[in-house]
Amino acid sequence: KAGVTQTPRYLIKTRGQQVTLSCSPISGHRSVSWYQQTPGQGLQFLFEYFSETQRNKGNFPGRFSGRQFSNSRSEMNVSTLELGDSALYLCASSRLAEQFFGPGTRLTVL
């Protein structure tokens, strides 16, 4: 069974721009979660989607948003990028409690 896939793998943007990241979950998984990983803060929960609805949200500003499509694929968007948004963005899918992560998208904001 194919794992979680994320595109693109690497992105370079400048301050003020916006970015959209994509995640395809494991087949049959309906829950998709997004996390931000930085050296200083570690892995932090952004939000979780289930059946096209945001079910849980972490403590991030409204510049971070997401959505989920009927095929469970998900996208996250970051608007008005800041230098501090440089991070590895990870998507995880789950059917039960275990969450399986993709390889991540490494975003660099210049």
Positions in the binding site for another protein (CB under 8 A): 4, 29-33, 35, 42-45, 47-48, 50-51, 55-56, 58, 90, 92, 94-104, 106
Percent helix / strand / coil, the chain, rounded to 5: 5, 55, 45
- Residue of 3, 11, 13 lying closest to 103 (CA atoms): 3
Output the smallest distance, CB 22 to another protein, in A. Answer: 15
Looking at the Cβ atoms of 66 and 102, the one nearer to another protein is 102
Output the smallest distance, CB 16 to another protein, in A. Answer: 27
Output the smallest distance, CB 3 to another protein, in A. Answer: 9
Looking at the Cβ atoms of 16 and 58, the one nearer to another protein is 58
- Evaluate the CA torsion angle 70, 71, 72, 78 in order and state its sign: negative
CA 104 to chain centre: 8
- Residue of 83, 87, 17, 81 lying closest to 46 (CA atoms): 87
Looking at the Cβ atoms of 80 and 94, the one nearer to another protein is 94
Beta-bridged to residue 58, according to DSSP, are: none
Looking at the Cβ atoms of 11 and 103, the one nearer to another protein is 103
